[in-house]
Amino acid sequence: GQQVMQIPQYQHVQEGEDFTTYCNSSTTLSNIQWYKQRPGGHPVFLIQLVKSGEVKKQKRLTFQFGEAKKNSSLHITATQTTDVGTYFCVNAGNNRKLIWGLGTSLAVNP
Partner 1 sequence: NAGVTQTPKFRVLKTGQSMTLLCAQDMNHEYMYWYRQDPGMGLRLIHYSVGEGTTAKGEVPDGYNVSRLKKQNFLLGLESAAPSQTSVYFCASSYAPYGGGNEKLFFGSGTQLSVL
Binding residues for partner 1 restricted to 42-71, rule: CB under 8 A: 42-45, 48, 50
Distance between CA atoms of 52 and 41, rounded to whole angstroms?
31
Look at residues 13, 28, 22 and name the one whose alpha carbon lies nearest to residue 91.
28
Complex with partner 1: residue 41 or 53, whichever CB lies closer: 41
Complex with partner 1: residue 84 or 99, whichever CB lies closer: 99
Distance between CA atoms of 7 and 33, rounded to whole angstroms?
16
Q: 35, 63, 65, 87: which one contacts partner 1 (CB under 8 A)?
A: 35
Other CB atoms within 10 Å distance of the CB of residue 45: 10
Q: Which residues bind partner 1 (CB under 8 A)?
A: 30-31, 33, 35, 41-45, 48, 50, 88, 92-98, 100-103
